[in-house]
Structure 1
Amino acid sequence: MSPMNERGSDAEDEFLSHLPPDTPVFYYKSQFRLESLQPPESPYDSFVVIKAFPPELLDHLDEKLPGRLDYSLSLKVLILKMPSRPHEAAAEEFGAMLTTLANHMKVRRQISYLGSSRVDGEDRKKQADRSWAPVRTQGKFPSVVLEVGYTETAAKLERDIAWWVRQSEGRVKMGITIDIKRGSHNIEIKSWIPARPFTKHVRLTASNRQVVNRDTSLQPPLRIAQKIVIKKGGNGKEPTIEGGSLIIPFKSLLLCEPGEGEDNFVFTEDMLIHDIADFIWVAIEKEEAEKRAK
């Protein structure tokens, strides 16, 4: 495959909006080679776009594809996200802390740790960075989703988390975004929930049959439940944090009220700084050291 510069439809442009401007775009051909998918060398998250990608090949190549996938069935456009080292550190350490909290409350065995398992929506197939659900839940959507970004803009993160909540029609109860800022290396963590409860919109067909209208424009927007900013201390100063502890309600993750000895999942300020942010900053330092050594 070779890069292409053709302009797509408005829907395609919308799907690809907020990707870095240097994202390479390829056109799928039968001689498709995975090793040709090389984004520009970067210490940040990278992306590759493949247009006209056949949907029937997605399952066949799923585990062979580099990075995490985001695929539009109607557009036949595949976005592959290549996470950076700081990105992976954020996702891994956040997941480890959630496991620690679950073990402390003895609910570890009640949670399915879904990692970056793919979810197939009506017109989009997507992987989150991490996701969780009750062990005995029904359906394909998780209850809590994490998306991480280490790019130029937080817009794609917010669009992605909105898709999870809205496409699931509220079955995803909470989305978490971790936005690692380039330059300052400050870390912005947000939790997202629907602005109002989801309701089913019913319409009549030509034969007077009632069907659920799944037009996402009718669904409630998201609102920020919490915003936390962690700033890296410079010149020997300690890191600072604004916004307090991050709280994932017990009911949002496990879809039931907490019992005796159970409570919300609380990521304290100390945990956010020393068990998550510190690991992200170490990963950034390693990336920058390797870049200087080249």
Structure 2
Amino acid sequence: MDPNTPSRSGSVASQAGSQAAMSVVTDPTTISSIGSEKPPLVKFQTAQILAQTIDATEGDVLYVQDVTPQVYDILDKYRESQGRKFRFKRFYPQQSLLIITIPTEYHEYMHRRLDHLITRQIDDMGLDWYQGGGATYKKRHGGISSGEGDSTGRPVGPENRDWPTLVIEAGYSQSLEALRREMQWWFSESNHQVKIVLLVKMYLPSRREIIIEKWRERLAGRHSGTMTLRAIGGDSGLRPYLDQTINIARAPDANPVLPESYRVTRGALRLEFADLFDRQPREGEGDVIIQVQDLRRIAAILGNSRHH
């Protein structure tokens, strides 16, 4: 069983993942992360035991089996009543699978700092922007799965918009492939109201590297040599494609707390105004650009962190 994602048939499949999943014990006092690319997988017992398991998990994500819609509602009420901060990253009722994001220091700082830099530039344009944070999103009619992003945002206006235009998903114990499946979910389930998904994969401290992927959608048939995934979301003809990849890497033996120790390739990060606001920019408005020096500062602060 591959704990990275449910398959289309309703099972979760992969031999390597199955071996990893079997190595996880459900005793919350002994559970630990299964390496950096194989998050722990447990079976639901009670809300209290799951909360203890979350507290003992070393990574930033936990996969929970045997979660029915009724159990999901119980967990949601328990989370609210206890003031717990973990997020229900994705719920697949057909597979009885719940993916939980655990707000570790690395995880939270990365997506929150990016969200802050983006919002600050939008504020400087004098525009209203709604920061959805970890709000729960699902289709209003006929929705099955649901999800909570790390950071989300959308314009404030008279439009009847149920979904954000921008989503940021971060992770270090999830594989980049698993994050890409999360990206596909946002485009598909929102019926393409989501316009940009930023994926932030952290390889800290082991590889001293952060990868930021910016994904958008385009009509099938338009090809420019970038990575394009197969069509999702019915007959829309839209396909997610990798619009920009930024690598932030620290030089060997360099001081991890100094921004100049980090090399940024393919920066700065550009978010198109037309995607964020669903209209063309007017005078005084324009794309949001996160400069290289800002990305270096983020890496330096994470490099100085002692806790995941």
Q: Same fold (TM over 0.5)?
A: yes
| Identical residues among aligned pairs (%) | 20
2:247 aligned residue: 229
Q: Closer, same or farther in 2 for the Cα pair 1:157/1:135, shift >3 Å?
A: same
Paired amino acid for 1:153: S
How far apart, in 2, do the equivalents of 1:264 and 1:191 lie?
A: 14
1:180 aligned residue: 202
1:117 aligned residue: 135
Paired amino acid for 1:147: E
2:30 aligned residue: none
SS in 2 for 1:256: coil
Which structure 2 residues correspond to residues 251-262 of structure 1 after superposition, within 5 A? 251-262=274-285
How far apart, in 2, do the equivalents of 1:68 and 1:147 lie?
A: 12
Q: Closer, same or farther in 2 for the Cα pair 1:173/1:46, shift >3 Å?
A: closer
Query: Displacement, 1:239?
Result: 1.2
Q: Report the TM-score when normalising by structure 2.
A: 0.74
2:148 aligned residue: 127
Query: Displacement, 1:179?
Result: 0.8
Q: Closer, same or farther in 2 for the Cα pair 1:49/1:59, shift >3 Å?
A: closer
* Bigger-Rg structure (1/2): 1
> Structure 1: which 5+ residue stretches go unaligned?
1-7, 198-214, 289-294
Say if 2:28 is the partner of 1:13.
no
How far apart, in 2, do the equivalents of 1:127 and 1:101 lie?
A: 24
1:189 aligned residue: 212
2:43 aligned residue: 26
Q: Closer, same or farther in 2 for the Cα pair 1:127/1:14, shift >3 Å?
A: farther
Asked if the contact 1:73–1:123 (Cα under 8 Å) also holds between the matched residues in 2, the reply is: yes
1:153 aligned residue: 175
> Structure 2: which 5+ residue stretches go unaligned?
1-5, 22-36, 221-231, 255-259
SS in 2 for 1:37: helix
How far apart, in 2, do the equivalents of 1:227 and 1:83 lie?
A: 24
Paired amino acid for 1:83: P
Q: Closer, same or farther in 2 for the Cα pair 1:173/1:146, shift >3 Å?
A: same
Query: Displacement, 1:185?
Result: 2.4
How far apart, in 1, do the equivalents of 2:275 and 2:118 lie?
A: 13
1:207 aligned residue: none
Query: Displacement, 1:167?
Result: 1.6
How far apart, in 2, do the equivalents of 1:45 and 1:185 lie?
A: 18
SS in 2 for 1:13: coil
How far apart, in 2, do the equivalents of 1:40 and 1:270 lie?
A: 36
Paired amino acid for 1:270: Q
SS in 2 for 1:79: strand
SS in 2 for 1:258: coil
Q: Closer, same or farther in 2 for the Cα pair 1:171/1:35, shift >3 Å?
A: closer
Asked if the contact 1:157–1:177 (Cα under 8 Å) also holds between the matched residues in 2, the reply is: yes
Paired amino acid for 1:51: D
Say if 2:257 is the partner of 1:242.
no
Asked if the contact 1:193–1:224 (Cα under 8 Å) also holds between the matched residues in 2, the reply is: yes
How far apart, in 1, do the equivalents of 2:50 and 2:165 lie?
A: 33
Q: Closer, same or farther in 2 for the Cα pair 1:193/1:33, shift >3 Å?
A: same
2:290 aligned residue: 267
SS in 1 for 2:280: coil
Paired amino acid for 2:264: I
Paired amino acid for 1:161: M
Q: Report the TM-score when normalising by structure 1.
A: 0.77
Number of aligned residue pairs: give it. Answer: 259
Asked if the contact 2:39–2:174 (Cα under 8 Å) also holds between the matched residues in 1, the reply is: no
Paired amino acid for 1:92: R
2:124 aligned residue: 104
Q: Closer, same or farther in 2 for the Cα pair 1:143/1:244, shift >3 Å?
A: same
Say if 2:82 is the partner of 1:72.
no
Query: Displacement, 1:86?
Result: 0.8
Which structure 2 residues correspond to residues 214-225 of structure 1 after superposition, within 5 A? 216=233, 218=235, 220-225=238-243
Asked if the contact 1:176–1:192 (Cα under 8 Å) also holds between the matched residues in 2, the reply is: yes
